[in-house]
Every structure is written in structure tokens, then in C-alpha cells.
Amino acid sequence: MTSRAGTWLLRGATALTLAFIYLPLLVIVLYAFNTRRTLVWPIPGLTLKWFGKAIDNPGVRDALVVSLQAALGATAIAIVLGSLAALAVARHRFFGREAISFLVVLPLALPGIVTGMALNATFRNLPAPFGVELGLFTIMVGHATFCIVVVYNNVVARLRRTAASLEEASADLGADAWQTFRYVTFPQLKTALLAGGLLAFALSFDEVIVTTFTAGADQTLPIWILSNLSRPNQLPIVNVVAVFVILLSMIPVYFASKLSSESAGAGATGVAGGAR
């Protein structure tokens, strides 16, 4: 099909591109072990001391707690709403069905700054009894808007591949709606939900732009990094935190891709919704 020279050329191009993708990440990892305080290359030696300093840093710890809470909250909201929307769109016909499937995917096409601004304006202008302070809760809701897409995509893809007739059979055999969901629908969706949840978690854990508009005084880890970039003294700790953030976003995604083949497809479309 392709000549031998062509194959080697393609192989070379692929290897180069992979190197282009991974080398910058490697550089960050190396700098995390840097003995010097300043970011000079080549680094003079390796040390683990910044890891200890990062763990002891109260700002980092607080940010980590906020990040974890926000990611868990956003994931929970996304799993519930995303799978409900997916079930409705995939299994029922109703007025406005097309509109829903469009609206859920809309965040993909919108620049993050627009989403952030819209959320910010909404939160700040809620009528009195529903007023919310910008903080953890608004971060969760903000993140949930794009996490929903990821869960929705995963679940819809799975539902398309499984037959509705199984659920009908269950109903024919006398199961009520809850039993059908509990014993038939849910087991089929389990891995898709788990994968979607992992992806949503990773997405929320990384997010910067929407967070800057919804966080108020609270800091997530990425926001902490952003605000400490201009402080040379803090840079060694920033490096450690950066490595930590890379790991915490790549590990869930790795497992998600093992769990369900849908997540690979949802990858490109899903991330565009959030990881800006």
C-alpha cells in the first residue's frame, strides 16, 4: 500500500510528534526535582525536598481540598443530570428532544470565557431569596455545565449500542420501572457511567477559565498555580503541584479509556467543552 520509505517517514513523523507532545510534560516533571530555587536549565541536581514543602504549604492544601470537593460535586451533578438527559433522549420521543441533545452539546462551540461570563452574570444577579455567594457551590455548578456533556456523551453512546427491547422484556415480565432500571438498565450502563464520571472528574480538576469567573475568593489548585506563577519564590512548589495536577488528570482518563471504548470518542468532543 505505501512504500517502505513512506512507512519509515510516517513512523518518523509520528515519533517526532509524540516527542513534541510529551517533552514539555517531561520538562515540568524534571523541574519538580530541581535542587535550585530558580528555573535554570540544565538543572544542577535532583531532590525531593519540594514535595515535602508542597505538602506542608497551607495554601496548596486548602486549594487541594477545594479542588477535590468541586470535582466530586461537579461529577455527582453531571452523573445524575447527564445520564437522565441521555436516557430521555435515547429512549423516549418527546417535543423538544432534538433541542435538548443540541443544548447539552452547546458548550463545545462556545468559548470558555463566554460560559464563564454568563455564569458570573447569572450568579451575581440571582433574585434575592436564591442569591448565592461565589464560592465552592458556584464552582461546582459551573464545572457541572461542561461535565454533563462528557457523561451524556458516554451514556448516549452506550444506550445506542444496547437494545431497548431488553427493557421492554423486563416490563413484560412484570418488573416495575424502578426494578427495570435497577436490574436491567443500570448494569448495562455501569461502566459507561464510571468512565464518564472519571472523565468529568479529570475535566473539573483541571479547569481554569470558568473557575476564574465562578470561584470568588476560593482557590482551586489550577487557580492557585495561576496566582503563584508571578512569585519566583513559590515556583519550586508550583512545579510539584503541576506534576500532581498532571497525574490526577491523566490517571482517571487512563482508567476511563480501559473501561469503555466510548470514552475515546467522547474524548475530543468532551474535552473541548471544558478543558480550555
Contacts of 151 (CB under 8 A, 6+ apart): 78, 79, 81, 82, 83, 86, 193, 196, 197, 199, 200
Select the span of 34-42, 90-98, 155-163, 184-192 touching other proteins (CB under 8 A): 34-42
Contact 204, 75 (CB under 8 A): yes
- Identify which of residues 180 and 249 has a Cβ nearer to other proteins in the complex: 249
Would you say how long the chain is, in residues? 276
One residue of 110, 132, 175, 194 binding other proteins per CB under 8 A: 110
Sketch the per residue contact string, 225 through 264, with other proteins: x for CB under 8 A, - otherwise. xx--x--------x---x--xx--xx--xx--x------x
Where would I find the H helices in the chain?
A: 4-32, 49-56, 58-91, 97-105, 112-124, 136-161, 165-172, 177-180, 186-206, 209-214, 221-228, 235-259, 262-274
Q: Is 268 in the site for other proteins (CB under 8 A)?
A: yes
Q: Is 6 in the site for other proteins (CB under 8 A)?
A: yes
One residue of 132, 171, 194, 208 binding other proteins per CB under 8 A: 208
Closest contact distance (angstroms) between CB of 170 and other proteins is: 30
One residue of 63, 159, 213, 234 binding other proteins per CB under 8 A: 213
Single out the residue of 134, 137, 103 nearest to residue 120, CA to CA: 134
Closest contact distance (angstroms) between CB of 70 and other proteins is: 14
Sketch the per residue contact string, 135 through 174, with other proteins: x for CB under 8 A, - otherwise. ------x--xx-----------------------------
Contact 115, 274 (CB under 8 A): no
Contacts of 163 (CB under 8 A, 6+ apart): none
Select the span of 22-30, 52-60, 68-76, 171-179 touching other proteins (CB under 8 A): 22-30
- Identify which of residues 64 and 271 has a Cβ nearer to other proteins in the complex: 271
Contact 136, 69 (CB under 8 A): yes
One residue of 60, 134, 157, 203 binding other proteins per CB under 8 A: 203
